[in-house]
Structure 1
Amino acid sequence: MEERERDPEPAGRIRRLVLDGTSDVVTRSRDFTRRALTAWRWLPPGTDEDREAAEDVLLLVSEVVANACLHGGGPTALVLDCTPERLRIEVTDGNPAPPAPLARRPEGRGRPGGYGLLIVERLARSWGSQPGAGGKCVWAEVACPPPVRRRLPAW
């Protein structure tokens, strides 16, 4: 596993984890995200709102990375971009097809699973995908809780 950060400071606002060719990518991504949230002072949580926000972020990362494993040929990278207003989660994979909730497609009705993107829709304030070189990037954004905004390091 290779972690590469764009910012030289440990608490830098953009973090990148290269996942191409690695195993156990969901666990690696969650651990990487937990370390970033700790550096950005989302963890340890100061309030119930902070705790819920951090748990939502970890669940979002798990869902988007798992979807890349199941439907995108495997994730190639995870990027976290934190500002005082929002946290953006980006996962790239090698499949150019845009994501679509399986539970909403005719072939998905009545089948187990297929609710990952519905969870993303529920937890993220916005999400989407954009084509990229050799695949796509699926992104989700969550609002930065006000208590966390006040604790963020100066960038």
Structure 2
Amino acid sequence: MPENESWEYTLYIPNDLRAVTVSRRTLRLILTMHGLIRFVDVAELLGAELVSNAVRHTKGPAALRVRWLAGVLRIGAWDADPAPPEPPVPFERSADAEEGRGLALVRACSDVWGWQPLARDGNRGKYVWCELTSAA
């Protein structure tokens, strides 16, 4: 499939820590099948962090969304908690911490990241996302 074509996948996941591994492997497969191997390692790391936060810090279902559009790979996780994510601490301060490194890694390894309130199937929640550009 040519890189100039756009696509989007959504993987709905239960609130289960095993969903992190399923999401990471699914993301690797999607990117490999679309010829975007150069993104796989970083995308797996970022996707796993986003899904892990969605599963560990909320109750209820979650979803992983992966989109390719105009040379930009967007990876995001939806969860059922509408509260904003905790702001990432500077990566240098989180390096020795047991927790709290997830969004610091997302901020450090992506070109841009953010979050927004989002409703799905009548349920409120939030969508935390990051982007990687093809120039990477």
Q: If the TM-score is normalised by the length of the shorter chain, which range does it land in? A: 0.7 to 0.9
Structure 2: 5+ residue stretches without partners: none
Which one of the candidate residues 1, 5, 10 is aligned to 1:16? 10
The CA RMSD over aligned residues, in Å, is: 2.5
Say if 1:68 and 1:74, in contact at 8 Å, map to a contact too: no
Runs of 4+ in 1 over 2 A off after TM superposition: 20-23, 72-75, 101-104
Structure 1: 5+ residue stretches without partners: 1-10, 44-49, 147-155
Say if 2:55 and 2:62, in contact at 8 Å, map to a contact too: no
Which residue in the other structure is 2:35 paired with?
A: 41
- Larger strand proportion of the pair: 2
2:59 is aligned with 1:73: yes
**1:103-122 superposed matches below 5 A:** 103=89, 112-122=98-108
1:102 is displaced (CA, Å) by 6.0
Q: Kindly tell me: are residues 117 and 36 of structure 1, through their superposed partners in 2, closer, same or farther at Cα, counting changes over 3 Å?
A: same
**1:5-154 superposed matches below 5 A:** 13-20=7-14, 24-43=18-37, 50=38, 53-73=39-59, 75-101=61-87, 103=89, 112-133=98-119, 134-145=124-135
Q: Distance in 2 between matches of 1:12 and 1:25?
A: 26
Say if 2:62 and 2:79, in contact at 8 Å, map to a contact too: yes
Q: Distance in 1 between matches of 2:16 and 2:55?
A: 11
Q: Secondary structure at the match of 1:96?
A: coil
Give the % identical residues. Answer: 34
Q: Distance in 1 between matches of 2:6 and 2:28?
A: 14
1:112 is displaced (CA, Å) by 2.3
Q: Distance in 1 between matches of 2:17 and 2:49?
A: 16
- Number of paired residues? 124
